[in-house]
Chain A
Amino acid sequence: DAGVTQSPTHLIKTRGQHVTLRCSPISGHKSVSWYQQVLGQGPQFIFQYYEKEERGRGNFPDRFSARQFPNYSSELNVNALLLGDSALYLCASSLVGGTTDTQYFGPGTRLTVL
């Protein structure tokens, strides 16, 4: 079975632009979470979606938004990019997004903002 897939693998943008990152969860998983990982740090929680509804949001500005589609795939959108948005963006899927569900991570999208 395929694991979590993310696209694109790498992305280079300039300040002020917007970006859309995509994620497909493990088959049968209905919850998707997004994390930002800056070099040398642990991942930081951005959003969790379950059954197309936002379940939780981390401490990120409104420039960050996400949505989940009927097939459970998800998009993360970032507007008005800043240099500080350069990071590895990770998507994780879990069965139902419950409190004890294990989150399985994809390979990530490396975003570089110039």
Chain B
Amino acid sequence: EDQVTQSPEALRLQEGESSSLNCSYTVSGLRGLFWYRQDPGKGPEFLFTLYSAGEEKEKERLKATLTKKESFLHITAPKPEDSATYLCAVQAGGGADGLTFGKGTHLIIQP
């Protein structure tokens, strides 16, 4: 069974304090790993797709990396508007073509 574990569950940072969120996965044949941002009461907003170990992608203050067992979302000099829940999801080689999500990391950036 495909599994995705995100840590920490919650993280509180000061504005400008850089950190990383972790996503560990166990899947049978990874086809893609996805990062989404979700604001309260809204649908997930797509951030990145990573396909193979060693791949990196950047967008503004966010950078996503991928290894064979985990992915990191690095947040550099965050601002209060970066506060949200960050979800990691995998799409595996077998099964139903649906995404398997982790529970998310609830990130709070204090001014």
Chain A residues in the interface with B (C-beta under 8 A): 4, 33, 35, 40-46, 48, 55-58, 88, 90, 97, 99-100, 102-108, 110
Q: Nearest 7 A-B pairs (CB), nearest first?
A: A45-B98, A56-B96, A42-B101, A105-B43, A56-B97, A99-B31, A105-B44
A48 to B45, CA, bound (A): 19
Q: Which residue of B lies closest to A4 (CB)?
A: B43
- Residue in chain B with minimal CB distance to A31: B97
Is there an interface contact between B96 and A57, defined as CB atoms closer than 8 Å? yes
Given A42-B89, A100-B31, A100-B51: A33 touches B98 (CB 8 Å cut-off): yes
Contact residues in B for A56 (Cβ distance below 8 Å): 95-98
Residues in A with CB closer than 8 Å to B4 are 42
Return the CB mask of B77-89 against A: 1 if under 8 Å, else 0: 0000000000101
Chain B residues in 8 Å Cβ range of A110: 41
Q: How far is the CB of B101 from chain A (nearest CB, A)?
A: 3
Interface size class of B (residues with CB under 8 A): 20 to 34
* Least CB distance, B57 to chain A, in whole angstroms: 12
In whole angstroms, what is the CA distance A108 to B38 when docked? 12
Q: Given A42-B101, A99-B31, A102-B49, 13 other A-B contacts at CB below 8 A?
A: A4-B43, A42-B104, A48-B96, A48-B98, A56-B95, A56-B97, A58-B98, A90-B43, A99-B32, A99-B93, A100-B91, A105-B43, A108-B43
Least CB distance from A97 to B in Å reads 6
B34 within 8 A of A: yes
Given contacts A42-B104, A108-B43, contact A55 B96 (CB under 8 A): yes
